[in-house]
Amino acid sequence: MRSPASQPLLKAALWDMDGTIVDTERYWIEAEHALVAAHGGQWSHEKAMQLVGQSLVYSAGILQEAGVALEVREIIDTLTGHVVCQVRESVPWRPGARELLEELHTAGVRCALVTMSEAPLAREIVASLPKPYFEFLVTGDTVTQGKPHPEAYLKAVELLQQDDPELDHRHCVALEDSEPGVAAAVASGVVTVAIPHIVPLPDDPRRATWYTLAGRTVADLRELVSLRHEFIGAGLV
Task: Give CA–CA dist 109/32, Å, rounded.
Answer: 36
pLDDT of residue 230: 59
Q: Could you tell me whether strands 191-194 and 134-138 are parallel, antiparallel, or unpaired per DSSP bridges?
A: unpaired
Classify residue 143 by its DSSP letter: -
Residue 139 has pLDDT above 50, yes or no: yes
pLDDT of residue 198: 87
**What are 63-77's pLDDT values in tens digits?**
999 999 999 999 999
Classify residue 94 by its DSSP letter: P
The mean per-residue pLDDT over the stretch 3-16 comes to: 76
Peptide bond into 92 cis (omega under 30): no
Strand partners, 22: 18, 93
Task: Give CA–CA dist 216/228, Å, rounded.
Answer: 18
In CATH terms, are 4-23+94-233 and 25-89 the same topology?
A: no
Classify residue 102 by its DSSP letter: H
**Inter-helix orientation angle 151-161/179-188, to 10°:** 50
SS3 state of residue 106: helix
Q: How many Cα atoms are found within 13 Å in the side-chain-facing hemisphere of 58? A: 18
SS3 state of residue 142: helix
**What are 160-189's pLDDT values in tens digits?**
999 999 999 999 999 999 999 999 999 999
The domain 25-89 is classified under which CATH number: 1.10.150, 3.30.420, 3.30.300, 1.10.10? 1.10.150
Q: How many other CB atoms are found less than 10 A from the CB of residue 196?
A: 18
Q: Which helix (H) or strand (E) holds 43?
A: none
Residue 220 has pLDDT above 80, yes or no: yes
pLDDT band at 228 (very low <50, low <70, confident <90, very high): confident
pLDDT band at 236 (very low <50, low <70, confident <90, very high): very low
Nearest by Cα to 194 from 178, 205, 217, 180 = 178
Q: Exposed, middle or buried, 2 (CB in 10 Å: 0-12/13-18/19+)?
A: exposed
Strand partners, 176: 194
Task: Give CA–CA dist 189/131, Å, rounded.
Answer: 29
The mean per-residue pLDDT over the stretch 204-219 comes to: 96
- Identity of the residue numbered 204: D
pLDDT of residue 64: 96
Classify residue 141 by its DSSP letter: G
Enumerate the domain spans of the chain: 4-23+94-233, 25-89
pLDDT of residue 65: 94
Domain 4-23+94-233 has CATH 3.40.50.1000: yes
State what percent of residues in the chain have pLDDT above 70: 93
pTM: 0.89
